[in-house]
Structure 1
Amino acid sequence: MIIQSLLDTDLYKFTMQQCVLHQFPAAEVEYRFKCRTPGVDLRPMIDEIAAEIDHLTSIYFTDEELAYLASLRFMKSDYIEFLSLFHLKRKYVDIRPSDEFPCGIDIRIAGPWLHTIPFEIPVLAIVNEVYFRRLYPDLSEEEGLRRLGEKIRLLKEEPDNEDLHISDYGTRRRFSRSWQRRVIEILKHDLGSQLSGTSNVMFAKELGLIPLGTMAHEYLQACQALGPRLRDSQVFGFEMWAKEYRGDLGIALSDVYGMEPFLKDFDMYFCKLFDGARHDSGDPFVWGERMIEHWRTNRCDPRTKSLIFSDALTIPKVIELYRRFHGRVRLGFGIGTNLMNDRGPAPLNVVIKMVKANGQPVAKISDAPEKGMCEDEGYLAYLRQVFGIA
């Protein structure tokens, strides 16, 4: 089966779930699957996907896995005890054929946020691996290894590259579990310290790497329904994160409402409290320059802060960003699909996004319009009005 461990997911699922346990234990949410790639029909694969999800919901954490999570400085003992009893419940996932979507299937996840938050990454990994093993069962690794080798060469040959570090963020859209492991092993061997780590907790544990991640869009989206006032929901989200982690895991996500509302809310307090910010949509060069200026305006030395880039990165784009910002700010580059699904066939662009929290619509208004997602146009218009978004 594709998923064999509940650690086979991104670290931010654990960091957010711990925050939910302590700060929002009664929240109810709903997620929905979307395939952004045109011309893809997943309907013939629905039974196989469903069988893999059935298996996913039968897995529990092992004592060894729990001990590893407990060794992470920001994980708390009561959360580890919760995980010792935890497993994903099949009743919270519904997968069925649907003519409403071009890809032919509808996947909805609904239930308590505490119990549904871990579904996203493994379900997306399942959809990807089922798709590629169905369509390309005998695909040679040769082209994938050639492309990977070229990426490594570019990174190693870049002058003044001592601060040029990349990380694996590719679990959700990987070609397969075995391919992700192969790529990480090669990167670790060939790049050494230029590989900062991986978002995948299982591979971090097994390969002796640093697990990386803080918060995702869903966290700030849910705060639209969980906070005291909609306009203050982003501030509320950052404050609750700080309450949970007390300055640890201090990378703020900047694009749930777009750059302008983020900068308005990310005042001097947050500039000094958080270690940096993550970019996930819009022009990364403009974003980086604006963040550096914002820190300066708020009396922070940008050289003590981090810019984390994670939006559809390729190695040439990483190098271009590195050349622009190196020496001016700390840098991190999380590469997903281009590392873990670059073997020749076009990768799938699939997502699972939160669409409701406590029965209320929630939305993401991205700096890249195609990355936004909301099922209620009336709510989306209201959200834009509240945040002053054109």
Structure 2
Amino acid sequence: MKRGTYIMERIITSLLETDAYKFSMGQAIYHQFSDYKTTWTFKCRNKDVHFTKEMVEEIKRQIKAYCELRFTEEELEYLENIVWIKGSYVDFLRLWQARFDDFTIDDNAECGLNIETKGTWLNTSMYEIPTLAIVNEVYFRMQYNYDELFESFKKRLAQKVEKVKDGTYKLAVFSEFGLRRRLSAEAQDLAVKTLAEADLKDSKFLGTSNVYLAKKYNVTPVGTMAHEWIMCSGQGNHKHNPAYSNWYALDAWVKEYGILNGTALTDTITTDCFLKDFQLTYATLFSGVRHDSGDPVEWGEKMIRHYEGLGIDPKTKTLLFSDSLDFERADKLFRHFNGKARVGFGIGTYISNDTDVEPLNIVMKTTRCNGQDVAKISDVKGKGMCKNPEYVDYLQRCIDWRLTHETKI
């Protein structure tokens, strides 16, 4: 079968086929920020990747098909049985449908693919993960011999899982986080099925961020908040000082969930700034923190010192690592932090798209909220995405001022 000469089957077949944190954030958005408007922008970070016009048309066709989907009653019942999901949000989802009119999709970009979505935060937040999954699968099916890629995927998956089964790698508790950058729906399904059924030594496979597959294989749907939550709830109100984005985000999260569903993301406007707001109340209420940029060992040791400084035993809190992990890196981190804190891992591309070719490094990020720029300034350069460098400079100056001038009262 020649690449690019066939019509693909529908890639996204269920509205549950998204990351769990989209429902976590979605419920809080519905209850507290339903009037917020956001713009999302696609970016391909690979320098040698080009999307053909045929790929762009197929991506457009697949997104139109996604926009036809509705939640089934069986899916809604599954969501309502998740302890932190409320009936009012489920009723909203019963009516919800993606709007293709919210999308702009064309070839007006350096990589050959431009995607932008504009609309309510309630809608546009839900588009990110299915869109990225569609882009990935279209690209790999049309650019390469997919059958050969899938065979290399299966071989590599079997080899790495065997090393967890025999105890070569000790991963403590880990989950699969690879929906947005998976080779294909078929590949991610196989990976989750294999891990869910494997008899693992010294490791526990908790679940997957893909709610559809969590339901299918009776494992835990894993995920709480993403950078968009801090960016929009903290910077979307133009009266807010953006250096306090984390406080606004944590406050709104606790109003929604109390002590439930609480893993805080630390690096949206640097972990140092996050720790200014992650004081005794929030550090007690949240069950742990997630690492997504910067040196993971330095970050983990910093978090342990912070908990200890607040009089909290770090052994009662979870350090969740999720930045570009493979089993070897996770094993080293577990061995380093074992006994110091609870340790968990969210492992994405290494599980869902490990083949003989390089995976795509694609993202879709919030670039505006309520008509104003928003930005992420993580613990390393290159992970942020904002169209207005003047706003990034303003945000950085606000952060710097707070870190150098703010003192405890």
Q: Give me the TM-score of the superposition, normalised by structure 1.
A: 0.96
1:194 maps to: 204
* Contact map agreement 2:36 2:236 (CA 8 A) in 1: no
Pick the aligned partner of 1:243 from 242, 252, 255: 255
Asked if 1:224 corresponds to 2:235, the answer is yes
Matched residue type, 1:10: D
2:285 counterpart (256, 263, 273): 273
> Which of 6, 22, 25 lines up with 1:13 in the alignment?
22
Partner residue, 2:175: 167
Q: In the alignment, which residue of structure 2 is the partner of 1:124? A: 132
Aligned partner of residue 183 in structure 1, secondary structure: helix
For residues 52 and 386 of structure 2, what CA distance do their matches in structure 1 show? 24
Contact 2:149–2:356 at 8 Å: present in 1 too?
no
Residues 1:300 and 2:312 are matched in the alignment: yes
Q: Which amino acid aligns with 2:101?
A: K
**Pairing partner for 1:334 from 331, 338, 346:** 346
Distance across 1 between alignment mates of 2:261 and 2:307? 18
1:31 aligned residue: 40
Deviates more, 1:190-199 or 1:338-347: 190-199
CA–CA separation in structure 2 for the residues paired with 1:155 and 1:289: 26
1:140 Cα deviation after fit: 4.9
Aligned partners of 1:29 and 1:141: how far apart in 2?
36
Letter in 2 for 1:76: K
In the alignment, what sits opposite 1:156? 165
* Residue 288 in structure 1 maps to residue 293 in structure 2: no
Unaligned runs of 5+ in 1: none
Report the more deviating stretch, 358-367 or 35-44. Answer: 35-44
Q: Where do 1:35-184 residues align within 5 Å?
A: 35-44=44-53, 45-98=55-108, 101-136=109-144, 137-158=146-167, 161=170, 164-184=172-192
Once the two structures are superposed, residues 12-48 of structure 1 have per-residue CA deviations (whole angstroms, 9 ceiling, x without a partner) of 0011110000010100000000000111111321100
Three-state SS of the structure 1 residue aligned to 2:28 is helix
Distance of 1:15 and 1:296 partners within structure 2:
29
Whole-Å separation in 1 of the counterparts to 2:57 and 2:270? 38
> Alignment partner of 2:289: what SS?
strand
CA distance in 2, matches of 1:160, 1:63: 40
CA distance 1:38–1:160, change in 2 (3 Å):
closer
Per-residue CA deviation, residues 306-341 of structure 1 (Å, 9 max, x unaligned), is 000000001100000010001111111000001000
CA distance in 2, matches of 1:152, 1:4: 27
The C-alpha deviation readout for 1:171-217, integer Å capped at 9, x for no partner, is: 00000001100111111122457211000000000110110000000
Residue 147 of structure 1: CA displacement? 1.6
Specify whether residues 268 and 228 from structure 1 end up closer, same or farther in structure 2 by C-alpha distance, changes over 3 A only. farther
Give the conservation status (yes or no) of the 8 Å contact 2:153–2:187. Answer: no
Aligned length: 387
Structure 2 unmatched ranges of 5 or more: 1-9, 404-409
Cα deviation for residue 71 of structure 1 reads 0.6
Instruction: Report the residue type matching 2:38 in the other structure.
Output: V
- Greater Cα shift, 11-20 or 257-266: 257-266
Structure 2 CA distance, aligned partners of 1:36 and 1:310?
19
CA contact (8 A) 1:227 1:233 kept: no
Matched, 1:185 2:166: no
CA contact (8 A) 1:227 1:236 kept: no
SS in structure 2 at match of 1:34: strand
- Mapped contact 1:152–1:191 kept (Cα < 8 A): no
Q: Distance in 1 between matches of 2:226 and 2:394?
A: 23
Give distance in 1, aligned partners of 2:77 and 2:70. Answer: 14
Contact 1:49 1:126 in 2 (8 A): yes
**Cα 1:140–1:252, aligned 2, differ >3 Å: closer, same or farther?**
closer
CA deviation string 1:94-114 (max 9, x = no partner) = 11111xx33122110110111
Identity of matched residues, %: 42
Q: 1:309 aligns with which of 293, 313, 321?
A: 321
Q: How far is the alpha carbon of 1:154 from its aligned partner?
A: 2.7
User: What is the alpha-carbon distance in structure 2 between the residues aligned to residue 104 and residue 186 of structure 1?
Assistant: 35
Over 3 Å counting, the alpha-carbon distance change for 1:56 and 1:333 in structure 2 is: same
Separation in 2, partners of 1:140, 1:36: 21
Amino acid of the structure 2 residue aligned with 1:175: L
**Distance of 1:227 and 1:319 partners within structure 2:** 43
Structure 1 residue matching 2:366: 3-state secondary structure: strand
* C-alpha deviation, 1:149, in angstroms: 2.3
- The question of 1:233 aligning with 2:242 is answered no
AA in 2 matched with 1:267: Q
Does residue 369 (structure 1) correspond to residue 381 (structure 2)? The answer is yes
- Tell me if the contact between 1:165 and 1:332 (Cα under 8 Å) persists in the aligned partners: yes
Q: Kindly provide the amino acid, as one letter, of the partner of residue 216 in structure 1.
A: A
